[in-house]
Each structure stands twice: as C-alpha cells, then as structure tokens.
A and B are shown apart, each in its own frame.
Chain A
Amino acid sequence: MIRRHLRRSAFFVLVAGLFAWLVFPLYYAFVTSLRSGSAIFRVSWLPDGADFSNYVRVFTEQPFGRNLLNSFLVATAVVAISLLLGVTAAFALGRVKFRGRGTLLVSILAVSMFPQVAVLSGLFEVIRTLRLYDNLIGLVLAYTLFTLPFTVWVLTTFMRDLPQEIEEAAILDGATPWQLVTRVFLPLLGPALVTTGLLAFIVAWNEFLFALTFTLSDRQRTVPVAIALISGGSQHELPWGNIMAACVVVTVPLIVLVLIFQRRLVAGLTAGAVKG
C-alpha cells in the first residue's frame, strides 16, 4: 500500500519535472519580457508587474511589424506552392504504379534531408541570376527545397491510405486522372492538407540560414533573422527585454495554432516515419 503510494508520488514528481523542463524557457521569456530597465538584471522567478514597454520598443525600434508580415507572406506562399505541386505529385507517387517510383520517392526524401549549406552557393547563384536577391520571392523559391519534398512525402502516405475501391468507382464512372485528383481525392484529403500545410508553414516560418543569406535589408528580413540581429548599443549589452518580447510575439501565435491542431499535427509528423 505504502509502496504503491510512493510509486505514484514518484511518478507525479517525474511528470511535473518533465513538464517544467518543457515549458519553463517560454515562461521565463514571458516573465522577462514584462520587465524593463534595470529590473531585468535582477533574476526573478515569478512575474512581478506588467510593463509592456518592451513590446512597444520591439515594434518601434525596427520594422518588426514588417518582418512579421514578411514571414507570414513567405510562409503562406510556400505552403500554397508546396500543396499545389505536392498533391498532384503525391497522387502519382501514391497511387500509380510506374517504373522508378521507389527510386523517386527515396530521392525526394533524400533532398529533404541533405544539408542546406550544400546548396547554398549554387542556390545563391540561381537567386542572383533570377534577380531575386534581397527579395521575398527568392526566399519562397529557396524554401520549396525543404517544404516540397516533405509535403510530397507526407501527402503520399495519406494518399496511399485512401480506399482503392473509391478510386476504381471513379475510374469506372469515367474520371480522368485529373478529375480523379481534383474531384474525388482533393475533397477527401482536406484534413491531410491542413496538417501538411501547417507543418510546412511552421518550417518556413522558422527557417534561418537562407533568410539570413539571401536577404540584406531590414525591410526584407523575416522574423527569425530580425530577432537574431536585434542588438543594443554594444555587443555586450543586448536588449534582452526587447528580444524576449519579440520571442513571445513570434511564438504565441504558433503555439496557439499547434495546440488547436494538436492531434492532426502529430498524425502528420509521424505519418512519414512510423507507418512506413
């Protein structure tokens, strides 16, 4: 009896510890973001007061609003393109048998896994040739490098799970492959599209290396670059209040989205790996 009690308590201590480990950094960023001036340099474990001046300063001292808009536009465009090209490709890879399908699938997976830095100079040349340097469109193009393979991969697993007989019924009803995709599969894939789109959105929203390398001016930057480059008077005096406020601003909408679509996201995240 006592032993069982002890085990239960130990388990809950473990759970509480893990929980704290997961959420503490975000909590502490929030606490810090509400303090300013010299108060910031006194460690405080609990929130003390609500001073929103950091939030005001983030938006006034640099074009942070513009950066947010940039990130939003880039991520949205990347999602749209990836889904558009991804659905048709996923149909081909998931439901049509043809020579070379397996090789193609593995190559696509390989593309999503190889180091971005390996294409950095080549991609730089492409972007400069297309006159897209320091341009959001250039970023959109660059981001398809990882969102597109990933979208294709996840949608292919979802596509494969759709019932065979529905497809055959449509074929007998005289549907062409294009009609099959647009009028039968697309409506059925609705939930999968939301999941995949959201995952691609998060990837694009969070990307740093390309955004840092392919943009130059403050007004073309995306949020991660803007946050990384927030600096104060000198190297050693970073405006931590501003930075934490920016972090909270960027993170909160993402967390809300993620929590709303929790179950679907997990399904999408594990679809490519576990079902295989």
Chain B
Amino acid sequence: MVSPARHNEGQRQRVRAAWLFLAPMLIVLALVALWPLLRTFYFSFTNASLVDLHGREGIGLGNYLAPVDGVWTGLFADPQWWRALWNTLVFALASVFLETVLGVLFALVLNVTFRGRSLMRAALLVPWAIPTVVSAKMWSWMLNDQFGIVNDGLMRLRMISEPVAWLADPTLSLWAIILVDVWKTTPFVALLVLAALQMLPKDCYDAAKVDGIPAWKVFFHVTLPLIRPALAVAVIFRFLDAMRMFDLAYVMTGSSDATMTVSVFARRQLVDFQDVGYGSAASTLLFLVIGLLTLLYLRAMRPDLSGARR
C-alpha cells in the first residue's frame, strides 16, 4: 500500500507527531508488560526466590524438565501442574461453550420487542458489573453445603434428598466454579451478540416471513451465519479471559487441587512457596499454551479483530 510517495511537510509533521503521541503509552506498556514478560521468561531458567531475587543461579531447563539423581523433576514431571492445566482447559472450554449458547439465547430474547425489555437489558448488566470476588463470595454463600439456599431450594423441589457439598466435593467444585463464571460473563457475550443482531438487515427477515420459512430454519440459515463474526470475536475474548482465570478458584476453593487453575498454581509457587523460578516457568508455559491455542483459533476462524477497515 505504501508507495514511495513524497510526503508534504504537513504529512511528515503528522507522522512525527504520531510517534511522539504514542511514546508515553509505549514506554508505560514496555515497563509493565514487555519488560516483566521478558523477566518472567528469564526467571523461569533460574532458581530465583521471592525473598532474594538477586541471589539466583541459572539452572537451564531445571524448572521444566531435568533429571535430578535419576528422577525426572520439573513442571513436566509434576502431576499437580498437569492437573492445573487440565482444570484450566476444562474450565475454559466448558464455560465458553455454555456462555456462548446462553449468550445467544439471551440476545435472541432481548432482540424481541416486549414490555419490560429495558428492565431486562439493565438486569443483564448486573452480573457483569459485580466484581468477580464479590460474585465468588455471593455464590459461595448460596452454594454453602449446610446453610446454602441452593441446597434448600433443590431439596424443596425434591431434586436432591440431602445437602450437596458443591464446593468441597472434588467432582463438583470445578463445575460450581464454571457455573459462577457462566453467570457472571454470559452478559458480555449476550451484549456482543445483541449488538450484532441489531445490525442485521430487516428485509432479510421480512422476506423469510413472507416465504413462510419456519423460525428455527431462519435462525440456523440466516441469523447464525450473519452473527458468526461477532460470535467468533466474543468467543476468542472469553476464551483468553477464561484461560487466565484466577479470582473465582482462589476465592471459592482456595488452593484445592480439584479446581486449581494454572494461574492459581503459578501464584502459589511464586508467592506462597517463594519459588520464583518454578512459578515463572509455569507462567511462561501458560503464556505459550494460550499463544498456541490463539493462533490455532485465529487460523481456523479468521475473525476480523483488526478493526482497521478504512
């Protein structure tokens, strides 16, 4: 696109100014993002400890995988790491899937004109605005095994016969957390999809109505393909967010193995065990896993994130 065009003085001044305007932001981002990221990579090859970051030695791949006295050690040999990665993937895939389905449902409902629609739309923003820690606490209380209203309700409806320990039972706790995440972030998906729905051409639907095509067919053959770009964007945003989940697991179940995500695992190594090297290695691996999955996704879906369509 850039031809070796001559720029007049005004254009040159603009480009100079543009870089000047970008500089403060770039400096701050270098300080809080790029540099720390590189340091984390670097720490992952050392045995740095939180108490004494300077007294570190390079240990090569020791934090990842290395034989020590004939036994493999490092993250790749750490079952807790694999458990954390598995939990993170299950959490991310399940919550994003449920949020997408529910989000589309919410958006379809809100796209219908009915009395009380604006109230409903306002309600949609409630879970979104509530701090994650607060939602974690609210739901912990509702899911409390002895005094929780969820157990109370389900027992009244005779769906369960005795209280369920939602957060303590290792087979249920991850799903309880997924439930809370779905509650909190479905509105985000719904809002994105709703915005896309409202930009759809009306005449398409009028034509379908005139032709007498059943509603579900219209949805799958007209609506879904048309909102696919918006959906693809919502899914990637949500997925990236879910892969780094920390607050819900930390607040609702502490560092239980059953719900430990990679973020919880890494922070525990870093802060609680003061093992900066090991924790950094876990962070680095998470970064790489997310990067890889994102690339695969972008390849497969090609959502238009550039926004540079002018």
Contacts and interface: CB of A to CB of B under 8 A. Distances in A.
Contacts of A197: none
Given A22-B127, A121-B39, A176-B13, A29 B138 contact: yes
A244 B136 CA distance: 11
A36 interface: no
A92 B22 contact: yes
B287 interface: yes
Contact of A122 (B25, B43, B241): B43
Interface string B14-28: 110111011011001
Contacts of A149: 29
Interface string A92-136: 110010110110111011010111111111111110100000000
Contact of A176 (B17, B35, B120, B291): B17
Contact of A26 (B120, B121, B130): B130
A6 interface: no
Contacts of A11: 109, 112, 114
B244 A116 contact: yes
A86 B25 CA distance: 7
A92 B246 CA distance: 34
Interface string A127-164: 01000000000000110110011001100110010000
A171 B8 CA distance: 13
A126 B31 contact: yes
Contact of B35 (A122, A171, A240, A272): A122
Nearest to B187: A22
B310 interface: yes
Interface in A149-190: 149, 152-153, 156-157, 160, 171, 176-178, 181
A208 B246 contact: yes
Interface string B69-113: 000000000000000000000000000000000000010010010
A115 B15 contact: no
B25 A89 contact: yes
Dominant secondary structure at the B interface: helix
Dominant secondary structure at the A interface: helix
B223 interface: no
Given A99-B2, A114-B290, A227 B133 contact: yes
A208 B132 contact: yes
Nearest to A181: B21
A259 B141 contact: no
A270 B191 contact: yes
B284 to A, nearest CB: 7
A240 to B, nearest CB: 5
A177 B267 contact: no
Given A123-B32, A240-B141, A251-B129, A91 B120 contact: no
B183 A25 contact: yes
Contacts of B244: 114-117
Contacts of B195: 266, 270, 274
Contacts of A275: 307
Interface string B298-310: 0000001111111
Nearest to B40: A122
Nearest to A130: B31
9 contacts: A18-B120, A88-B22, A114-B291, A148-B25, A224-B247, A228-B250, A266-B191, A274-B196, A276-B233
8 A-B pairs with the lowest CB-CB distances in the bound complex, closest first: A122-B36, A122-B39, A276-B307, A177-B17, A115-B244, A92-B18, A88-B21, A119-B36
